[in-house]
Structure 1
Amino acid sequence: MKTVRRLLYRDILSSFALVMAGFLGLFFFVDFIDDLDRFQRLGLGVGLALWSCALKLPGRFYELMPIAVLIGTIFSLARLAQSSEFTILRTGGLGPQRALGLLSTLALGFAALAFVMGDYVNPWADRQAQLLKSRASGGVTNAAGAWMKDRDGDYSYAVHVGRAKANGVMEEVLILEFDPKGAMATRLTAKEATVDPGGRWQLQNVRLMQWSRAPTPLGRLTGRTTDAPNPDSPQDKLADNPTVRELLLPQYSWQSQLPAGVVSAAVQPTWNMSTLELYRYTRHLSSQEQSSQQPEIQFWRKAFYPFACMVMVALALPFAYLHFRAGGISVKVFGGIMLGISFVVLNAVAGHLGMLRDWTPWLVASVPSLLYLGISMAAFWWLVRFR
């Protein structure tokens, strides 16, 4: 059995590596052509363009892995079936259950590789790519902005970040504090801010407006400052409305209940988050009664993504039991590849429909994989039983 395992694994892995290398080479060339002109206009040179494209390869690898697993496994098993090598293995004692067990172990290896690439390698490479991109865009990596909610006892906060830099600095920060009755107590704006691991915000160039109807002299938000403002300071300006106090502070410290990971997740795209970061972000949105449908679907899709590699191996297994002498191998292999592409398309369409129809996120992410796994197992059973 060790010889059979070595034969199958070596053939499938070599085919997978060949297919993946072809895909990565194609996408690297396309990305390089796309980035070369932009980097040259900024005077950054060809070397940085090459490095930028290289940092995109882990993400491409992660995206293309199910398709590469399917094509590589189909090509390997179909070739073994055409040359009658698989038939000889079956005659030598490789029954359907043993064949399924051998490929299941290999599928688990593919799933583990997809998990490592998606949760560790790709996020790291994406952060490095964002740092490189920030050099070309003046330091800004996310100009879309993000809203977050926070709560401390009876007080609630609405936090908006206008832009985020690759080094963790946030720009154009707005914090609105609401008292227990829902009335605005404090409005704070800052040009820049950073968040430490404990959730403490360090803000720079702060403009703070405080309404006197707040139950405390400076409100709970202003009460968190490490350097309390002096009411007699020249920067303490009385607005035209005597019930409003305006303060200008060079530095300000605010202890938030928002973890640094949640803040980072809110200002970066969800597709490059790890599974754990997505989980924490969705739990925070749910606890703050914010809409979490999209990040929850993204979380479950990422959690089930390694399982998709196992489904691709299962889809390829029936091709080992086809009689390729009765028809062209290329047509049957092409049909299997189109079946795998249809799985990817259905997975993407299900995600969009789930957001539009407000379906249960884990069902949206799991149903395509379970459906195609059932189709592959039914085809495998029918070929073994009747062919």
Structure 2
Amino acid sequence: MKTVRRLLYKDIVGSVVLVALAFLSLFFFFDFVDELDRMARIGVGGGKAALLAAMELPGHFYELFPIAVLIGAIIALARLAQSSEFTILRTGGLGPARALALLASLAAAFAVLTFVVGDYVAPQFEREGDNLRASFSHDATPTKRGAWLKDHQKVEGQERSYSVKVGRVGSSGALVDVIIFEFDAEGRLMSRTEAERADVDARGLWHLKTVRRTVWNPGAPAGPSPVGEVVVSEQQLDQLDWQSSLHAGVIAAAVLPAMSMSTLELYRYTAHLSAQEQSAQAHNIQFWRKAFYPFACFVMVALALPFAYLHGRSGGISIKVFGGIMLGISFMLLNNVAGHLGLLKNWTPWVVAATPSLLYFGLSMAAFTWLVRYR
């Protein structure tokens, strides 16, 4: 069995690596052309454009790797079928269940690799790419992504709600152009705090710098204010600490695009949105898609296995590879369409994320069972 495992794994892994390299080379060329045009406008050379294009490769790898697994596995298994090697393996005792078990182990390794790249490598490279792009263009605040957040607290036994605007995130990770609106339990505006920048620790303590604070009716008791007796107090502070339930992880998730968040960041952010009674459907769907995405490698390997049971005269490898590409594209298309439909129809997020994988896995098992029994 070790010899069979070595033969299958060597052929499949080699084909998957070649297909992944081909995809990455193609997308690197496209990104390089885009970055070259962008960098030329600010007088930066082609070497730095190539570096920025390279920083995008982990993200492309994460998105394309399941398709590379499908195409690579089809190439390897179709080649074994065409040379009758797989037929000899079946005659030697490689039954359908054992073949599935062998490929499932390999798919598990592919799934772990997909998870690690998508959750740790790709987000880090994307942020470093933003920082490099900012340094090349001499812009201290490269990330222009902003966000609105909500928070609820009890201050001296009274309910307070906060609407927080984060303008952008600087290259050092500090929050820039922060505005905090404070409201009482009746929804009346109590204060407005502006800060040029803020650093947030893991406990949710905001260290605001260069602060301008406006307070309406400071020290006034709860309840409606008398007509015509509005008092406004303004302060200029070098530093102000503000305790909040919005910790660094939630803020990082809020200012990042949903596609570039890690699974844990998405989970934290969706939990925060639900706790603040905000709509979390889009991020819930994205969370479950992110959680299930590595398991697409199992689906792709299952889709490729029936090609090993097709005889060489049933069509050349090129036809099978073309069929594999169409299967991979249709899977990705259905995955994206299901996400949009789930958002529009307000379907259960985990069902939306799991349905394409379960559907294609069922189709692959049906085709595999039919080929084993009748071919």
TM-score by length of 1: 0.90
Q: Distance in 2 between matches of 1:5 and 1:342?
A: 30
Q: Distance in 1 between matches of 2:322 and 2:285?
A: 31
Indicate the SS of the match to 1:142: coil
When structure 1 is superposed on structure 2, of 252-261 and 205-214 the one drifting more is: 205-214
Aligned position for 1:233? none
Equivalent in 285, 298, 305 of residue 297 of structure 1: 285
Alignment CA distance shift 1:192-1:326 (3 Å): closer
Equivalent in 186, 206, 210 of residue 181 of structure 1: 186
Displacement of 1:329 in angstroms is 3.5
Q: Distance in 2 between matches of 1:322 and 1:137?
A: 58
Indicate the SS of the match to 1:141: coil
Contact 2:216 2:230 in 1 (8 A): no
Aligned position for 1:337? 325
Counterpart mapping for 1:60-75 below 5 A: 60-75=60-75
Counterpart mapping for 1:69-218 below 5 A: 69-135=69-135, 136=137, 138-153=139-154, 154-212=159-217, 215=220
Indicate the SS of the match to 2:142: strand
1:54 equivalent to 2:59? Answer no
Which residue identity lines up with residue 380 of structure 1 in the other structure? F
Alignment CA distance shift 1:244-1:163 (3 Å): same
When structure 1 is superposed on structure 2, of 130-139 and 350-359 the one drifting more is: 130-139
Contact 2:207 2:242 in 1 (8 A): yes
Contact 2:74 2:320 in 1 (8 A): no
Equivalent in 359, 362, 366 of residue 347 of structure 2: 359
Contact 2:176 2:196 in 1 (8 A): yes
Indicate the SS of the match to 1:140: coil
* Paired residues, number: 365
Displacement of 1:241 in angstroms is 7.3
Q: Distance in 1 between matches of 2:52 and 2:348?
A: 37
Which residue identity lines up with residue 26 of structure 1 in the other structure? L
Q: Distance in 1 between matches of 2:221 and 2:245?
A: 20
Displacement of 1:213 in angstroms is 6.6
Deviations 1:179-211 (A, max 9, x none): 122211111112222212221112222221111
Indicate the SS of the match to 1:51: helix
Q: Distance in 1 between matches of 2:108 and 2:145?
A: 38
Aligned position for 1:15? 15
Indicate the SS of the match to 1:166: coil
When structure 1 is superposed on structure 2, of 4-13 and 207-216 the one drifting more is: 207-216
Aligned position for 1:221? none
1:315 equivalent to 2:303? Answer yes
Contact 2:165 2:179 in 1 (8 A): yes
Q: Distance in 1 between matches of 2:219 and 2:285?
A: 40
Counterpart mapping for 1:197-346 below 5 A: 197-212=202-217, 215=220, 243-346=231-334
TM-score by length of 2: 0.93
Between the aligned residues of both structures, percent identity stands at 61
Contact 1:185 1:214 in 2 (8 A): no
List structure 1 segments (4+ residues) > 4 angstroms apart after TM superposition: 213-217
Displacement of 1:70 in angstroms is 0.4
Deviations 1:276-307 (A, max 9, x none): 11101110110011111111111111100001
Which residue identity lines up with residue 60 of structure 2 in the other structure? R
Q: Distance in 2 between matches of 1:89 and 1:384?
A: 14
Gaps of 5+ in 1: 218-239
Q: Distance in 2 between matches of 1:309 and 1:125?
A: 23
Alignment CA distance shift 1:269-1:141 (3 Å): farther
Which residue identity lines up with residue 195 of structure 2 in the other structure? A
Q: Distance in 2 between matches of 1:214 and 1:298?
A: 44
Q: Distance in 2 between matches of 1:311 and 1:66?
A: 9
Q: Distance in 1 between matches of 2:338 and 2:2?
A: 41
Which residue identity lines up with residue 266 of structure 1 in the other structure? A
Displacement of 1:144 in angstroms is 4.2
1:373 equivalent to 2:361? Answer yes
- Taking only aligned residues, the RMSD between alpha carbons, in angstroms, comes to 1.7
Deviations 1:220-248 (A, max 9, x none): xxxxxxxxxxxxxxxxxxxx975111222
When structure 1 is superposed on structure 2, of 73-82 and 189-198 the one drifting more is: 189-198
Alignment CA distance shift 1:242-1:367 (3 Å): closer
Alignment CA distance shift 1:277-1:94 (3 Å): same
Displacement of 1:41 in angstroms is 2.7
Deviations 1:116-150 (A, max 9, x none): 11111112211211211222271333334210011
Contact 1:208 1:247 in 2 (8 A): yes
Displacement of 1:216 in angstroms is 6.3
Displacement of 1:215 in angstroms is 4.5
Gaps of 5+ in 2: 223-227
Alignment CA distance shift 1:386-1:137 (3 Å): farther
